Amino acid sequence: MQFFIDNFPLLRSAFLTTLSLSLLAGLLALVLGTVLAALRVSPVPPLRGLATFYVETFRNTPLTVVFFFLIFGLPQIDFAVGFFTGSVIAVGLYTAAFVAEAVRSGINAVPPGQAEASRALGLSFGQSLREVVLPQAFRTVVPPLGNVWIAMVKNTSIAAGFAVTELTASLQRLSNANAGELVLVLLAVVLGYMLITVPSAFAVSRLERRVAILR
Amino acid sequence: MTERPTGEPLVRLTGVNKWFGELHVLQDVDLTIDRGEVVVVIGPSGSGKSTLCRTINRLESIQEGEISIDGVRLPDEGKELARLRSDVGMVFQSFNLFAHKSVLENVTLGPIKVRKKSKADAERRARELLDRVGVSAQADKVPAQLSGGQQQRVAIARALAMDPKVMLFDEPTSALDPEMINEVLEVMVGLARDGMTMVVVTHEMGFARRAANRVVFMDAGRIVESATPETFFTNPSSDRAKDFLSKILNH
Ligand SMILES: Nc1ncnc2c1ncn2[C@@H]1O[C@H](COP(=O)(O)OP(=O)(O)O)[C@@H](O)[C@H]1O
Ligand SMILES: [Mg+2]
């Protein structure tokens, strides 16, 4: 117990860093991923191509490489971002590809008659997507997006290698200082991640039940 | 029979050809539908009836020929096309009501988003229309809580809410249990009586006899015959129509 009390300030700030990194990157990924999914089903071939290119690039690039590019590569072209901001962008851009895939599969699961009926009413492609297709797609996409979110929370640990003192970085620090209490250090850090992921999983299953659609 | 159509062309298809890959689904189709006219399209499964219907609001594109509505040629894509579609009501075999919206919201979506009506105006008109098709008591339910016949009547109200110039019906009663067919046909007969221009793909001969000005018989992507319902059902001129009628009459 003494160990937790002694190291509470570091653990707390590390936890908050992981949490804010996750929330900001998650928001970026959700918005960008949805836009990418919309582009992938758009009637304009160049837009579809662009979105496919994006998704395939990021899905097939290790996240650490994305971090390297944003944090050490961008300054080369005179566009430096801070470590924390760089980490948010790296995780967000990377995760957007997975969000896009999940949302796209959700869009494809909406019966085509729904989009047809809205276009037949005279709604534009964008209106039909916003009013009819996406609201239904998101309902089927809640569980897969929950998985993407949990994977993303864990992926923020890569920021530890880029001077961001989040949970995994605190693990490194604390285990150096408290070699004898390694188990406690690990426990604290794992608990930190679980404090984010377990309530998320719970929220996802609640949400899933609430938005279920009657067909 | 309803009042005579005006003789003023509203929908005009000229030399329309369409292929799905190798399949030549519409072959040299010429068809003119006058304002106020009710045309029933009949023919064997796979003859291109749905495709014909869907080309009229360009849910399907065509490779050759020209389609115009009220003198305006169908635009390719974008805003112009959306505007044109808003003047063409469509009723699908499988209803296609918006599953996540209430019945009332289904009917107000188009008027609010496309016609830019206020919510209050759109709702007032929607309730009138739901009343007209006999489902006003269901306004706050979601589509899945309604019977098939009720859903299809909501779909008709949804199309009417746009004040369309013409309504397309693609086998509107084929997905319904027999006891629900009449409630939908009654609504359609009422529309025909009120002078709505209608293109109806259906095998309901009773409807054709009561409401249609003309029956168009399609086979293998072509319009084979076009006649008044009386002539078509009692004395079809083509062998293919005779053959087809003998099959559906024997059922
Ligand atoms: N999207 C499509 N892609 C390929 N073939 C299609 C498509 N839609 C319809 N067809 C084919 O076109 C032909 C005409 O179909 P359709 O217009 O639905 O006929 P009907 O409504 O008279 O039964 C059929 O052979 C059908 O299989
Ligand atoms: Mg059909």
Question: Which residues of chain A make contact with B155, given a CB cutoff of 8 A?
Answer: 117
Reported as a pLDDT band with limits 50, 70 and 90, residue B2 is: very low
CA distance between the termini of chain A: 53
| The pairing of beta strand B38-42 with beta strand B197-201 | parallel
* Beta-carbon count within 10 A of B123 CB: 18
Nearest to B99 among A43, A122, A215 (CB): A215
Indicate the pLDDT class of residue A214, thresholds 50, 70 and 90: low
Percent of chain B with pLDDT over 70: 97
- The stretch A69-94 carries a mean pLDDT of 88
Instruction: Look at B59 and A139 and tell me if their CB atoms are within 8 Å.
Output: no
CB–CB of B86 and A122 under 8 A?
yes
pLDDT of amino acid B4 = 58
Residue B25, pLDDT > 80, answer yes
Residue B39 in this model has a pLDDT that exceeds 50: yes
Looking at ligand 1, which residue's alpha carbon is closest to its atom 20? B46
Among residues B85, B217, B54, the alpha carbon closest in space to that of A113 is found at: B54
B15 secondary structure, DSSP code = E
Take atom 27 of ligand 1 and give the residue whose Cα is closest. B46
A126 close contact with B: CB closer than 8 A = no
Between A7-11, A174-178, B38-42, B157-161, the lowest mean confidence (pLDDT) is in A174-178
Q: Identify the weakest region by mean pLDDT among B3-12, B52-61, B182-191.
A: B3-12
* Mean pLDDT on B127-150: 95
CB atoms closer than 10 angstroms to residue B20: 11
Q: Give CA–CA dist B191/B212, Å, rounded.
A: 11
Give CA–CA dist B117/B119, Å, rounded: 6
- Can you give the pLDDT at residue A215? 61
pLDDT digits (tens, 9 = 90+) for B173-207: 999 999 999 999 999 999 999 999 999 999 999 99
Q: Which A residues, 35 through 64, put their C-beta within 8 Å of a C-beta on chain B?
A: 43
Residue B247: is its pLDDT beyond 90? no
Neighbours of B159 (CB within 10 A): 25
Residue B194 DSSP label: T
Render pLDDT for A99-151 as a digit per residue (tens, 0 to 9): 999 999 999 999 999 999 999 999 999 999 999 999 999 888 999 999 999 99
The sign of the torsion formed by the CA atoms of A102, A103, A108, A111 equals: positive
ipTM of model: 0.89
- Give exposure, A95-107, as e/b (b: 16+ Cβ within 10 Å): bbbbbbbbbbebb
For the entire predicted model, the pTM comes to: 0.88
A210 touching chain B per CB within 8 A:
no
What confidence tens digit (pLDDT) does each residue in B211-229 have?
A: 999 999 999 999 999 999 9
Q: Are B163 and B4 in contact (CB under 8 A)?
A: no
Q: Tell me the shortest Cα–Cα distance from A153 to chain B, in angstroms.
A: 31
For residue B58, the model assigns a pLDDT of 92
Q: What is the pLDDT of residues A19-78, one digit of tens each?
A: 999 999 999 999 999 999 999 998 889 999 999 999 999 999 999 999 999 888 877 777
Q: Which two tokens stand for residue A119?
A: 């276009």
Q: Does A215 touch chain B (CB under 8 A)?
A: yes
Please name which ligand lies nearest the alpha carbon of B48: 1
pLDDT(A184) > 90: no
The pLDDT, as a whole number, for residue B1 is 44
Q: How many CB atoms lie within 10 A of CB B149?
A: 22
* Three-state secondary structure call for residue A14: helix
**Residues of chain A contacting residue B100, judged by C-beta atoms under 8 Å apart:** 132, 135-136, 139, 213
Indicate the average pLDDT of chain B: 93
Per-residue pLDDT of B227-239, as tens digits, reads: 999 999 999 999 9
Report the alpha-carbon distance of residue B209 to residue B230 in Å, rounded: 7
**Residue B47 in contact with ligand 1 by CB distance below 6 A:** yes
CB-based contacts of A77: which residues, under 8 Å, 6+ apart?
A: none
Write down the number of H helices and E strands in chain B.
Answer: 9, 10
Whether A128 has its CB under 8 Å from any CB of chain B: the answer is no
Out of B19, B50, B224, mutate this one to test ligand 1's pocket (max ligand atoms within 8 Å of CB): namely B50
Domain ranges of chain A: 2-211
Residue B161 in this model has a pLDDT that exceeds 90: yes
Q: Rounded to the nearest whole angstrom, what is the distance from the C-alpha of residue B172 to the centroid of ligand 2?
A: 10
Quick check: CB of B41 below 6 Å from ligand 1?
A: no
Short-list B134, B143, B229, CA closest to B187: B134
At residue B127 the predicted structure's pLDDT band, cuts being 50, 70 and 90, is very high
Asked: is A2-211 a CATH 1.10.3720.10 domain? The reply is yes
Which atom of ligand 1 sits closest to the CA of residue B221?
A: 14
CB within 8 Å: B90 and A117: yes
CA atoms within 13 A on the CB side of A34: 16
Residue A187 has which token pair? Answer: 């426990």
So what's the pLDDT on residue B145? 95
Min CA distance, B204 vs chain A (Å)?
23
CB B34 within 8 A of CB B212: no
Token duo for residue A204? 């996802």
Using CB atoms within 10 A of its CB, is residue A5 exposed (0-12), middle (13-18) or buried (19+)? exposed
User: What pLDDT does A79 receive?
Assistant: 76
**Alpha carbon nearest to ligand 1 atom 7, residue:** B20
- Look at residue B5 in the predicted model and tell me its pLDDT: 67
